[in-house]
Amino acid sequence: MTEATGTRFGPSALATPANALSLVRVLAAPAYGVLLARYGPDGWLLWGAWVVLAFSDRLDGTLARRHGTTRSGAFLDPLADKALVLAALAALAELRVFPWWAVAVIAVREAAMSAFRTYAGRRGVSIPARPAAKVKTLVQTMAVGAAVWPLTAGVHDLGLGVLYLAVALTLATGVEYVLDGRRVLDGHGGPAARVADRHAA
């Protein structure tokens, strides 16, 4: 049930502008991956689409702050980020631009953390985002951007360098989340937020 007072939504609201945008981003992820795998990473149209999809996360966050953060939004927003990045990385791996092992590491970490956050959520707690997690998401996005921007698409070492940095940050933040989560679940991490940071990842 949607809770709203004017333009403000309660924590249990579902039908919010931010959630609608997050859902569009989730649905756009496989479509972008298919188009990238079919047409390759050096077209301006796909580059422009990636920029729009990547920066739509900013609009998502702005809408959430304006209308109120929600538990559903705390799930959908990072899900959209992960879906977009993984779809693009998988397409680039299929094109042999990026190695599959690096994409697999990122995918396994993201799936494991989503499962861990779901487990924590069922126990009534949320794991707050660290700044490094937001940097991780940004670097993953930049790795895709470097690979699809026509001016740098042919410079494979640049994209690979950014990707390897993303892999390192992905693993490091995953360890941080596990440690933070254990402290919170054990009752030593202070009171847990009832609504998670929408940009947790």
Give, as one character, the DSSP assignment of residue 5.
Answer: E
CA–CA gap between residue 93 and residue 53 (Å, rounded): 20
Q: What is the mean pLDDT of each run of 10 residues along the chain (201 residues)?
A: 53 70 90 94 91 83 70 74 94 95 94 79 68 88 94 88 95 83 62 44 60
Write down the pLDDT at residue 51: 93
User: Residue 3 domain-assigned?
Assistant: no
Would you list the DSSP string of 39-107? H-S--HHHHHHHHHHHHHHHHHHHHHHHH---HHHHHHHHHHHHHHHHHHHHHHHHTTSS-HHHHHHHH
Write down the pLDDT at residue 165: 96
Write down the pLDDT at residue 72: 66
CA–CA gap between residue 94 and residue 98 (Å, rounded): 8
User: Which residue, among 98, 169, 90, has the nearest Cα to 134 in the 3D structure?
Assistant: 169
Angle between helices 131-148 and 44-67 in degrees, nearest 10: 160
User: Which residue, among 84, 36, 31, has the nearest Cα to 56 in the 3D structure?
Assistant: 84
User: Residue 72 domain-assigned?
Assistant: yes
CA–CA gap between residue 27 and residue 80 (Å, rounded): 8
User: Which residue, among 61, 17, 74, has the nearest Cα to 8 in the 3D structure?
Assistant: 17
CA–CA gap between residue 122 and residue 28 (Å, rounded): 28
User: Which residue, among 162, 121, 110, has the nearest Cα to 11 in the 3D structure?
Assistant: 121
Write down the pLDDT at residue 114: 79
Which CATH number characterizes residue 152's domain?
1.20.120.1760
User: Which residue, among 97, 81, 80, has the nearest Cα to 20 in the 3D structure?
Assistant: 80
CA–CA gap between residue 195 and residue 47 (Å, rounded): 34
Considering the entire predicted model, what is its pTM? 0.82
Asked if 21 and 56 count as a contact pair (C-beta separation under 8 A), the reply is: yes
User: Residue 1 domain-assigned?
Assistant: no
Write down the pLDDT at residue 126: 64
User: Residue 2 domain-assigned?
Assistant: no
Residue ranges making up the domain that contains 96: 11-185
Write down the pLDDT at residue 166: 94
User: Residue 124 domain-assigned?
Assistant: yes
Domain count within the chain:
1
